[in-house]
Structure 1
């Protein structure tokens, strides 16, 4: 069972850099998945992703709910509002993007730690299991490698589950 966003709070460890959106965003209400992404571009930061999504994709702004910089900084994208990151699943998923191309590189340790921290935060709030952390490529009808061949989704889920067991 998942909780509605109006009963949840934003993580206080995410930086709000004041991104502006071209339209009014709709609150998320039923989170069933945490969707993991990569930017497919080395060195892209949250502001660049925001500009790219607005200008090239013609979206309201950054499609991800949260963005993790290469140094591990967690940036609020859309926050607790419907994202634009997994076709047909945006209303039931929270999108977390890590800066980088993980087909040719690996996430930094700082990024992995921040992704774990953010996932654990929302798993607790939404009563989710580690099996509900899904790589973009694992959603139906997705042909991308996202979050990249070098991002081990099974290993990431196992690491999170081990952390949950230790912290019970």
Structure 2
């Protein structure tokens, strides 16, 4: 019987070790020992199943052949360790050959500040601001995500986000970001999750001082209930903005993403007829988009947001995308346009309140910096916008910057 017990223990140990390695092998990832020549120098495990997958790009030369891709990953590892990282920062890296390379794997990596211990990253080798990875690479990423769900490493209800949604970066590149927004599990607004995760982590650290298991369990339960409510309540998450889909807008021809949080808000007017009903405002916004895209050859409607005389805010290029509202400043600002001409007309109280609420919500959601600057359009370029009467009003608002000469362009 003693011999049987010994063999049983040995079998269980072997099975456990094999299972941990098969978690990678089952998803066709090339182990780090195979491409890197040495074991991973990271020891802290991610808590599984992981709930967030972050898509990135490496901004290094692309690769298509196996030997070329292995060399590319080795160079990434060498560069990161030379710069003080314990080991390779990304969880997994994908080459143009369609192969997934194990990096930090299901250990805590160093790919996204504040999110490393609660997310897994998938980084495409190359620069994808203006083009997509190879079809093989895109398929490998989707297959890997599906396999990771089957292996219980990734939660079946995981959230997929681009790197730029969590950090001030252009990764994974505008073209790749637009593509992953069509994938299952993509999450457009991470701000609610960010706040709740932060709250949960702070509470859990506090309560580890006590041996109150029941209280911890209740806290975790409340956290996930609240997380569900955040996802269910989309009106609050969207800052009461009428979406482009709702006003029947066209999709952009091309997109470029803003670094976040944005620290400059520009107030404008559209110098068109005003509108006071939902139907009239939606038609006006559609007409503006048609003019911008058909006549001016813009990628999309130029303004970030527009506000009608009905007191509703309409989505333009939105919080995340670069607009075309203020030449020289589009890549660092949000442009909010009042529909109408406010050289002679007074803006309506409901319009003013709607824009104030939009800006407040933008700060709360992390789209705007808490110490943002607010300026009138004419302070930056040669124009009468936002009109004499609207300009007089915004000069009384918090964060208004009287001298805009210190604001640098962002092209």
| TM-score grouping bracket, smaller chain normalisation | 0.7 to 0.9
Calculate the TM-score normalised by the size of structure 2.
Answer: 0.35
Partner of 2:371: 129
Q: Is the 8 A contact 1:46 1:69 kept in 2?
A: no
Counterpart-to-counterpart distance in 2, 1:5 and 1:84: 20
Residues matched between the structures, number: 153
Calculate the TM-score normalised by the size of structure 1.
Answer: 0.81
Q: Is the 8 A contact 2:346 2:389 kept in 1?
A: yes
Q: Is the 8 A contact 1:137 1:144 kept in 2?
A: yes
Q: Is the 8 A contact 2:374 2:399 kept in 1?
A: no
Q: With a CA cutoff of 8 Å and minimum separation of 6, indicate the structure with the bigger relative contact order.
A: 1
The 5-angstrom pairing of residues 91-106 of structure 1 reads 91-106=331-346
Offset at residue 123 of structure 1 (A): 3.2
Q: Which has the higher helix share?
A: 2
Counterpart-to-counterpart distance in 2, 1:85 and 1:76: 14
Counterpart-to-counterpart distance in 2, 1:104 and 1:47: 25
Partner of 1:34: 265
The 5-angstrom pairing of residues 60-75 of structure 1 reads 60-75=299-314
Gaps of 5+ in 2: 1-162, 167-189, 192-236, 276-283, 401-411
Counterpart-to-counterpart distance in 1, 2:164 and 2:375: 20
Partner of 1:116: 356
Q: Is the 8 A contact 2:259 2:332 kept in 1?
A: yes
Offset at residue 150 of structure 1 (A): 0.6
Q: Aligned in 2, Cα 1:17/1:138: closer, same or farther, shift over 3 Å?
A: same
Give per-residue Cα distances to partners, 1:82-106, cap 9 Å, x unaligned: 0001111101001111101001211
Offset at residue 23 of structure 1 (A): 1.5
Counterpart-to-counterpart distance in 2, 1:60 and 1:24: 6
What is the RMSD computed on CA atoms of the aligned residues? 2.2
Of structures 1 and 2, the larger Rg is shown by 2
Give per-residue Cα distances to partners, 1:42-75, cap 9 Å, x unaligned: 2263212111211221212210111111111111
Q: Aligned in 2, Cα 1:73/1:35: closer, same or farther, shift over 3 Å?
A: same
Partner of 1:50: 289
Give per-residue Cα distances to partners, 1:125-166, cap 9 Å, x unaligned: 232336x01111111xx121111101122123379xxxxxxx
